Structure 1
Amino acid sequence: MATLVRYNTLPTLFDSLFGRPAIVRYQKPATAVPAVNVKETETAYQLQLAAPGLKKDQFTVSVEQNKLTLSFKQEAQTEEKAETYTRQEFGYAAFERSFRLPKNVDTEAIQASYTDGILNVTLPKVAPKVEEPTVKQIAIS
């Protein structure tokens, strides 16, 4: 004899309270901050931020107190007028990513470029400064 089983396709409050798995779970929307790939070579660190459809003048790359900040800001305004109504819409999108730089990065020689929807940032390395121990002779009087 075949049995029919009815499955609830929407999660309920009881599913989370009593530990019963639901078939469909609510997914949080994806964040608006793009992922960044970081690659280390012998001479530099390379960051790649995927941001297709944007313009290079909307990005800001800055270094302050050994912290690299990549940010984006876009503001849009549309207005539609007809005989009986006026409709205005405002849009705003922004994100910011910050990275603490290692001591061997030359902050004066950082370069950034935006091609094919990818922001490339090159952080050249410098040889770390090695402090030599100082030996001082003191005369005995």
Structure 2
Amino acid sequence: MSTLMKSPINGNELSSQKSLSSWVDNFFENGLGTGFLSNFNTGITLPAVNIKENPDEYILELAIPGMKKSDFNIDLDNKILSISSEVETKNEENSDNYTRREFGYSSFKRTFTLPDTVESDHVKANYEEGILSITLPKREEAKQKPPKRIEIS
């Protein structure tokens, strides 16, 4: 598609054909078109994360709809919390005149460095209605204490 036939009008080519031709050539040759196609539907996205803190714990919430509990891998190694998933889907439909095959692959991995104040032996995870929630309880010494009045002697 690098050249189109030129049509002379008063010694010049048609300006609309030239601009359309240049636009199409630039779209495919300068990488915009191929860059778009190569990045289209790669299945690599990072889920959105909310991090909440209350006096007793931290809560991570990841928006990951359309998955099952068994699709997730959650690991805690020292102070590194890793949340990952790899899902492969295949769908095949056979009919009298055609066969249609669709497949997909998606994956992600998020890692978080946890503070020393997390009680790593009591971390819990729950997946409900597309939200993966991970509860990270605080150690007793890290929990906020109520205000205390000091008497003067």
Q: What TM-score, normalized to structure 2?
A: 0.59
Separation in structure 2 between the aligned mates of residue 83 and residue 52 of structure 1, nearest angstrom: 35
SS in 1 for 2:85: strand
Aligned partner of 2:119 in structure 1 is 106
Identity of aligned residues (%): 41
Could you tell me which runs of 5 or more consecutive residues in structure 1 were left unpaired when the two chains were aligned.
1-11, 13-27, 130-141
Aligned partner of 1:41 in structure 2 is 54
Q: CA deviation at 1:78?
A: 1.6
1:119 pairs, out of 132, 139, 142, with 132
Separation in structure 2 between the aligned mates of residue 82 and residue 116 of structure 1, nearest angstrom: 35
User: Which deviates more, 75-84 or 107-116?
Assistant: 75-84
Indicate the structure with greater helix content: 2
Q: CA deviation at 1:84?
A: 5.6
Aligned partner of 1:54 in structure 2 is 67
Separation in structure 1 between the aligned mates of residue 81 and residue 56 of structure 2, nearest angstrom: 18
Moved over 6 A (4+): none
Q: What TM-score, normalized to structure 1?
A: 0.63
- The 8 Å contact of residues 103 and 128 in structure 1, kept in 2 or not, is answered as no
Aligned pair count reads 104
Could you tell me which runs of 5 or more consecutive residues in structure 2 were left unpaired when the two chains were aligned.
1-22, 24-38, 143-153
